[in-house]
Amino acid sequence: MLYRSAGNERTAAVQNRGGLLLWTGPGPAGRDGGDHLSLQRPCRKTPHGSPYYGKGRVRYFLLPLSVYVSQVDELLTAMDLLAYFLYIMISLIILVSISVTYRVILRERTGGTSRPLLLLTGFALGAEDYKDILEKVDAIASYMDSDFAAEYSIVEDKPGEERSKTVALVFRRDSLEKYVIVVTEPSINKGQGYLKMEDSLWFYDPESRRFNYSSSKDHFQNTNARNSDFTRSTLAEDYDVASGEQVKLGRYDCWKLHLVANNNEVTYPMMDIWVDGDYLLRKTNDFSLSGQLLRTTAFPSYQKVEGRYVPRKFLLIETLENEKTQISISKVSFDGLPDTTFSKNFLEKVNK
pLDDT of the residue at 104: 57
Asked if pLDDT for residue 129 goes beyond 90, the answer is no
Give the pLDDT confidence score for residue 274 in this predicted structure.
Answer: 96
Please give the share of the chain, as a percent, with pLDDT higher than 90: 49
**Each residue of 140-152: pLDDT tens digit?**
999 999 999 999 9
In the predicted model, what is the mean pLDDT of residues 223-230? 87
108: left (phi over 0), alpha (psi -120 to 50) or beta: alpha
328 and 189, same structural domain?
A: yes
Q: pLDDT at position 322, please?
A: 85
Number of structural domains the chain divides into: 2
Q: pLDDT per residue over 329-343, tens digit each?
A: 999 999 999 999 999
Residues 23 and 155 in one domain: no
- Within-domain flag for 285: yes
The predicted model gives 132-136 an average pLDDT of 93
Structure letter (DSSP) for residue 125: P
38-47, 120-129, 172-181, 203-212: range with lowest mean pLDDT: 38-47
Task: Report long-range pairs for 7-13 (Cβ below 8 Å, ≥24 apart).
Answer: 12/37, 12/60, 12/62
Query: What pLDDT is stored for residue 314 in this prediction?
Result: 93
243 part of a folded domain: yes
Give yes or no: residues 16 and 154 share one domain. no
Per-chain mean pLDDT for the chain: 79
Average pLDDT over residues 197-221: 88
Q: Identify which of 96, 121, 200, 161 has the alpha carbon closest to the alpha carbon of residue 324.
A: 161
- pLDDT given for residue 27 in this prediction: 42
Residue 218 region by backbone torsions, left for phi larger than 0, else alpha for psi between -120 and 50, else beta: beta
CA distance 39 to 30: 9
> In whole angstroms, how far apart are CA 44 and each of 54, 60, 123?
8, 19, 67
In a domain, 87, yes or no: no
42 and 179 share a domain? no
pLDDT band at 121 (very low <50, low <70, confident <90, very high): very low
Is pLDDT at 85 greater than 90 in this prediction? no
CA dist., res. 259 & res. 242, Å (int): 6
* Residue 255 clears pLDDT 50, i.e. is over it: yes
Domain span at residue 25 reads 2-61
> 37 with 172, same domain?
no
Q: What angle do CA 348, 215, 294 make, to 5 degrees?
A: 135
Determine if the peptide bond prior to 42 is cis (ω within 30°).
no
Residue 96, in any domain of the structure:
no
Going by pLDDT thresholds of 50, 70 and 90, the confidence category of residue 175 is very high
pLDDT at residue 69, rounded to an integer? 72
pLDDT band of 161, cuts 50, 70, 90: confident
- CATH code of residue 321: 2.50.20.10
- For residue 45, being part of any structural domain is answered with yes
In a domain, 264, yes or no: yes
Q: Average pLDDT, stretch 165-193?
A: 94
- Give the DSSP letter string of 216-228: TTSBSTTSS-BGG
Residue 293 has pLDDT above 90, yes or no: yes
Residues 247, 342: one domain? Answer: yes
14 vs 322 pLDDT, higher one: 322
In whole angstroms, what separates CA 126 from the centre of its chain? 9
Do 221 and 313 fall within a single domain?
yes
Q: What is the mean pLDDT of residues 255-274?
A: 94
Percent of the chain with pLDDT over 70: 73
Calculate Rg over the CA atoms of the chain: 41
Mean pLDDT of 42-70: 53
Same structural domain, 164 and 54: no
Specify whether the CB–CB gap between 41 and 54 falls below 8 A. Answer: no
Task: Give the pLDDT of residue 97.
Answer: 80
pLDDT exceeds 90 at position 254: yes
245 is a domain residue: yes
Verify that 296 and 152 share a domain, yes or no. yes
pLDDT in tens, 6-50: 334 344 444 434 444 444 444 444 444 444 444 444 444 444 444
Q: What is the pLDDT of residue 128?
A: 61
